[in-house]
Amino acid sequence: MSKDTAVDMKEVELNELDPEKQPMTGDGQAAGGEKNGSVKLKVPEDEVTFTGLSKDELMKVAGTPGWVRTRWVLLVLFWLGWLGMLAGAIVIIVQAPRCKPIPEMNWWNEGPLYQISDVNAFSDGIAGVEARLDEINKLKVKGLVLGPFHTVQAGKPDTLNLKEIDPTQGNEKALVAVLEKAHKKGISVVLDLTPNYQEASSWFNTGDVGAVMEEVMAGAEYWMERDVDGIKVSDITVATSSVDWSKLQSAVQINSTENPKKRLLMGVVESTSAQAVSQLVNTTGVDLILSNLLSSEKGGVERIMAMDTLNSQQRSLGWGLGAAQRDQLSKQASTPALIRLYQLLLFTMPGTPVFTYGDEIGLQAVGSESPKMVWDIEKEPEEGAAVNETAEAERTERVAVKKWFKSLSELRGKERSLLHGDYYSLFSSNSSLSFLRVWDQSERYITAVNWGSASELLALKLAPTEGVELPEKAIVKLSTDPDLVVESKIILDKITLKPGQAILLQFPYLG
């Protein structure tokens, strides 16, 4: 084969298609004259994008009569809409009910006071009080009333020293530490300076109270220089009858530029009528008077009458059951149910509730000795350990009472109707009573308690009062009766309370 022939054969082989690359649709050409396997691409023409009008074009359009009229119409509509919304807001504000101004409140009106008369029984002296302040703070109390623990021999005024602490109870350094820690927690501290606290005659058996008053005044000034927030004295009727009473009043209530917080002058009265207490509030200048009216008046009718007389002076009134005598509530509330009942009553009455240590757990007082405080009640028995059923039942009950106390204290602190609301009596009998607490547009509360030995049907009735009326039903907020379930609704004209039971009802402001 010649060289030229070999080259021609090569060209033929290169021009032939690989059999594996042959089209699968046949040997012919596809429609349209295109070869099988080829793709016809359509190149799009250049797209035209809208770039908007130029500045000159816009100015020409904007100046046309149509656009001028349109702009004026839109502008007028805008201002009309704005003025309409402004007018609507003004109408709403004018027609809305005005809020009632909050009355002047002092720190002792904002929560319960907690008395520790025997610091050794409470927690091993004054230093023990400091160690227990975290526990006390959980109770939402606003003030501690400590003492008396100054030195004095019973019935001997010449031994009185109000600036010296009985060494068996602590010392000044420990008391200052209590003050500092309590203030950091927002708790004020009142010192009981009742002169002759070891005997029934608080101001000694002398006709001249003047010398003792001078001692009390000097002691008050001494401790307030150490940042005590107030002074308490018993038998305030004796003290206020002295010509030197105004000196003690001035010493305690004097304004200080260094400490603008108001100091409390607190007095205690016993065996005094509600009318006499009211007169003391009006004439003596005492900031807070604690009476034993709840203890001395046993019937519901008498108790409701006392509240009727004193409710308008609630910011100067303290209520307690046993607190005036520095006793535990359990001395008169002998059962766990009654302890809960009186806790509910004290927290919802118009005035400042005053408790003695241990009331929050239903601590039982036996005889004249101060009961030893019980701590760590939340600690449950270890698994597998031997359990005294009686002791465990008592511990469980104390936990439940404390939980009830804390829920009441928290509720009172945040609900204006309970904190400083108006009071209206609804019902009273020999062993039961009910009243209403109302503040402006806040939630309203009804307290109903029956400390008797038989069930009581309460016929709640509100005297005609402008802006206040009872609804048909109310919600159970708190209850000691398991049959009256919390958050359930109850018809107000058919409330039956079992013996020793208490209930707190709630209903909204209806406008």
- Residue 14 CA to residue 71 CA, distance in Å, equals 77
Domain residue limits, the chain: 107-414, 425-507
Check if the beta carbon of residue 284 is closer than 8 Å to that of residue 240.
yes
According to the model, what pLDDT value does residue 64 have? 81
Check if the beta carbon of residue 147 is closer than 8 Å to that of residue 117.
yes
According to the model, what pLDDT value does residue 21 have? 46
CATH number 2.60.40.1180 given to 425-507: yes
Query: Cis omega (within 30 of 0) on the bond before 353?
Result: no
Query: Beta partners for 226?
Result: none
Q: DSSP string of 190-202?
A: EEE--TTTTSS-T
Task: List Cβ neighbours of 422 (8 Å cut-off, separation of 6 or more).
Answer: 311, 437, 438, 439, 468
Q: DSSP string of 74-89?
A: HHHHHHHHHHHHHHHH
The continuous run of DSSP H or E covering 150 comes out as: strand 150-153
- Residue 431 CA to residue 134 CA, distance in Å, equals 38
Task: Please give the chain's pLDDT, 511 residues, in tens.
Answer: 444 544 455 444 444 445 444 454 444 444 444 445 455 555 555 555 666 667 777 777 777 887 788 888 888 999 999 999 998 888 877 766 677 788 889 999 999 999 999 999 999 999 999 999 999 999 999 999 999 999 999 889 999 999 999 999 999 999 999 999 999 999 999 999 999 998 889 999 877 788 899 999 999 999 999 999 999 999 999 999 888 898 899 889 876 556 678 999 999 999 999 999 999 999 999 999 999 999 998 899 999 999 999 999 999 999 999 999 999 999 999 899 999 999 999 999 999 999 999 999 999 988 788 999 999 999 888 887 888 889 999 999 999 999 999 999 999 999 999 999 999 999 999 999 999 999 999 999 999 999 999 999 999 999 888 889 999 999 999 999 999 999 999 999 889 999 999 999 999 998 7
Alpha-carbon dihedral angle through residues 204, 205, 209, 212, given to the nearest 10 degrees:
-30
Query: Beta partners for 300?
Result: none
Give the HSE-up count for residue 451: Cα atoms under 13 Å, Cβ half-sphere.
24
According to the model, what pLDDT value does residue 57 have? 73
Check if the beta carbon of residue 229 is closer than 8 Å to that of residue 182.
no
Alpha helices (H) along 245-373: 245-253, 274-284, 293-296, 300-310, 336-348
Q: DSSP string of 214-250?
A: HHHHHHHHHHHTTT--EEEES-HHHHHTSTTHHHHHH
Of 340, 349, 353, 346, the C-alpha closest to 445 is: 349
Model-level pTM?
Answer: 0.81
Most distant CA pair in the chain: distance in Å? 161
Which H, E and C letters describe 386-445, residue by residue?
A: CCCHHHHHHHHHHHHHHHHHHHHHHHHHHCHHHHHCEEEEEEECCCEEEEEEECCCCCEE
CATH number 2.40.50.1020 given to 107-414: no
Coil, strand or helix: which one is 112?
Answer: coil
Report the helix count and the strand count for the chain, using DSSP H and E.
Answer: 16, 18
Phi, psi of 400 (to 5 degrees): -65, -40
Long-range contacts of 429-435 (CB under 8 A, 24+ apart): 429/300, 429/301, 429/456, 430/299, 430/300, 430/301, 431/299, 431/300, 431/456, 432/300, 432/456, 432/458, 432/497, 433/300, 433/301, 433/303, 433/304, 434/458, 434/460, 434/495, 435/304, 435/307
Is the Cα torsion angle 30, 33, 38, 41 positive or negative in sign?
negative
Coil, strand or helix: which one is 143?
Answer: strand
Residue type for 205, please? N
- Residue 426 CA to residue 429 CA, distance in Å, equals 11
Query: Beta partners for 444?
Result: 507
Phi, psi of 415 (to 5 degrees): -100, 115
- Residue 445 CA to residue 424 CA, distance in Å, equals 11
Q: Kindly report the number of other CB atoms within 10 A of residue 241's CB atom.
A: 12
- Residue 117 CA to residue 135 CA, distance in Å, equals 17
Of 494, 368, 503, 371, the C-alpha closest to 447 is: 503
